């Protein structure tokens, strides 16, 4: 078990077992069990007693427990492999297994953050979260909820980055709505002056050819512009030009969840990422590590390549509720595994330096 993210292995196998079920109730049960294991704060190996028994884990039934014990004893699950081999969905399940690479369980995130030998940023170095969503698009919290939750996490500033108007499916804001949101942000910033600053951000959509769904003039209404792909995420075609065009847009500050991958579901965009990273480094665009457990995009393997290319980084939660702000921990863990120094992470900069970086990019886009 040494070196293995046991909870990630078990969670993946339980999801495999969910996909082979013919009963909707059993499918739901195994999916719930998988989510439970992936969300545990401790590895199953640490929970197991000297007698080999595990404590009662809510949501884990006899079938799931059998899989867990098999993995803890042998590193694999004959139960799951037999069920997959007998299933008509075995080819799809094998495809999904490939799409689980380099995803971390919550327990592994906690371990990496506590590892005294790991390099890179720790939670105390992290000053702000630069991607989150509010009730103004597809998030749940109010702006005031976000400010209070960020203060509880010890942040001095953050950016709210609701979706732009081109992504209607995610409740994208019209420019008129954005103007009203900015007025509300100004009121909050006045109320929290000296304690916290909320930046006026936006998550712009990258179109099929690399253009944003914001004009240059519209983009200048925001202090921070994330650009992210939300379409053509299952295509095998090379989309390097799409992504280099996006990072070459002078309005863009951060390339957010660059691949658009989802665990066990889609690999996301196919591109020559070294070329994309080189362009981003040249342009001064930060590459995001999105901490949403289903995204983890970039993961530490690609992030290490972006580091070698000279990129700076943004580590963000992509939270849609205040509870999800803890997803920033996952981004931090990937950054530590990639050995990214805090100096190269914009979330670790003092606010004056961050604002100067944003202002410099904004002034260049106005030329």
Whole-angstrom distance, CA of residue 184 vs CA of residue 264? 39
Judging by beta carbons within 10 Å of its beta carbon (0-12, 13-18, 19+), is residue 24 exposed, middle or buried? exposed
Task: Give the CATH number for residue 91.
Answer: 1.10.150.110
- Quick check: is 264 in a domain? yes
- 91 with 127, same domain? no
pLDDT band at 1 (very low <50, low <70, confident <90, very high): low
Number of domains into which the chain is organized: 2
- 91 with 130, same domain? no
- Quick check: is 103 in a domain? no
- Domain boundary residue, one of 98, 131, 165: 98
- Quick check: is 226 in a domain? yes
pLDDT score at 3: 72
- Quick check: is 258 in a domain? yes
- 174 with 295, same domain? yes
- Quick check: is 111 in a domain? no
Q: Is 316 helix (H, G, I), strand (E, B) or coil?
A: strand
- 80 with 142, same domain? no
Residue 364 has pLDDT above 80, yes or no: no
pLDDT score at 45: 96
- Quick check: is 104 in a domain? no
Report phi then psi at 297, rounded to 5. -135, 110
pLDDT score at 363: 62
* pTM, full prediction: 0.95
Q: What is the mean pLDDT of the chain?
A: 95
Exposure b/e, 155-169, CB count within 10 A at least 16 = b: bebbbbbbbbbbbee
Average pLDDT over residues 136-149: 97
Task: Name the helix (H) or strand (E) containing 240.
Answer: helix 240-247
Whole-angstrom distance, CA of residue 158 vs CA of residue 151? 10
pLDDT band at 361 (very low <50, low <70, confident <90, very high): confident
Give me the domain span that covers residue 218. 122-365
Torsion of CA 289, 320, 265, 42, to 10 degrees: 70
Residue 366 has pLDDT above 90, yes or no: no
- Quick check: is 358 in a domain? yes
Task: Give the CATH number for residue 319.
Answer: 3.20.20.140
pLDDT score at 169: 87
- Residues with Cβ within 8 Å of 352's Cβ and at least 6 positions away in sequence, in order, are none
pLDDT digits (tens, 9 = 90+) for 246-291: 999 999 999 999 999 999 999 999 999 999 999 999 999 999 999 9
Residue 312 has pLDDT above 90, yes or no: yes
Residue 40 has pLDDT above 90, yes or no: yes
pLDDT score at 168: 87
Residue 181 has pLDDT above 90, yes or no: yes
Whole-angstrom distance, CA of residue 265 vs CA of residue 269? 13
- Quick check: is 37 in a domain? yes
- 79 with 188, same domain? no
Whole-angstrom distance, CA of residue 69 vs CA of residue 53? 9
- 87 with 195, same domain? no
Average pLDDT over residues 224-230: 97
pLDDT digits (tens, 9 = 90+) for 85-99: 999 999 999 999 999
Whole-angstrom distance, CA of residue 71 vs CA of residue 82? 14
pLDDT score at 263: 94
Average pLDDT over residues 333-354: 97
């Amino acid at each position: 078990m040494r070196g293995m993210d046991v909870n990630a292995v078990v969670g993946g196998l339980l999801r495999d077992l969910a996909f082979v079920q013919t009963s909707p109730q059993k499918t739901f049960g195994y999916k719930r069990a998988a989510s439970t294991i992936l969300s545990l704060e401790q590895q199953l190996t640490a929970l197991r007693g000297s007698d080999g028994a595990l404590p009662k884990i809510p949501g884990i039934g006899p079938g799931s427990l059998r899989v867990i014990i098999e993995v803890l004893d042998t590193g694999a699950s004959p139960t799951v492999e037999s069920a997959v081999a007998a299933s008509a969905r075995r080819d799809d399940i094998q495809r999904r297994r490939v799409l689980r690479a380099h995803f971390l369980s919550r327990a592994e995130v906690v371990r990496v953050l506590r590892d005294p030998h790991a390099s890179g940023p720790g939670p105390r170095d992290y000053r702000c979260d630069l991607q989150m969503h509010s009730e103004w698009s597809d998030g749940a919290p109010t702006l005031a909820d976000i400010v209070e939750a960020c203060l509880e996490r010890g942040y001095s500033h953050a950016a709210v980055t609701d979706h732009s108007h081109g992504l209607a499916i995610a409740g994208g804001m019209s420019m008129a709505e954005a103007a009203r949101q900015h007025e509300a942000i100004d009121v909050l910033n006045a109320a929290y002056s000296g304690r916290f600053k909320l930046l006026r951000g936006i998550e712009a959509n990258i179109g099929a050819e690399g253009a944003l769904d914001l004009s240059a003039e519209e983009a200048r209404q925001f202090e921070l512009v994330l650009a992210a792909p939300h379409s053509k995420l299952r295509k095998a075609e090379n989309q390097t030009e799409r992504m280099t065009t996006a990072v070459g847009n002078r309005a863009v500050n951060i390339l957010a969840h660059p691949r658009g991958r989802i665990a066990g579901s889609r690999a996301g965009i196919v591109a020559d990422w070294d070329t994309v990273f080189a362009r981003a480094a040249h342009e001064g665009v930060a590459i995001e590590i999105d901490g949403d457990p289903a995204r983890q995009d970039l993961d530490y393997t690609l992030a290490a390549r972006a580091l070698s290319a000279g990129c700076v980084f943004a580590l963000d939660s992509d939270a849609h509720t205040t509870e999800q702000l803890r997803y920033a921990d996952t981004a931090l863990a990937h950054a530590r595994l990639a050995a990214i120094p805090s100096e190269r992470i914009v979330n670790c900069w003092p606010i004056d330096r961050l604002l100067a970086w944003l202002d410099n990019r904004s002034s260049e886009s106005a030329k």
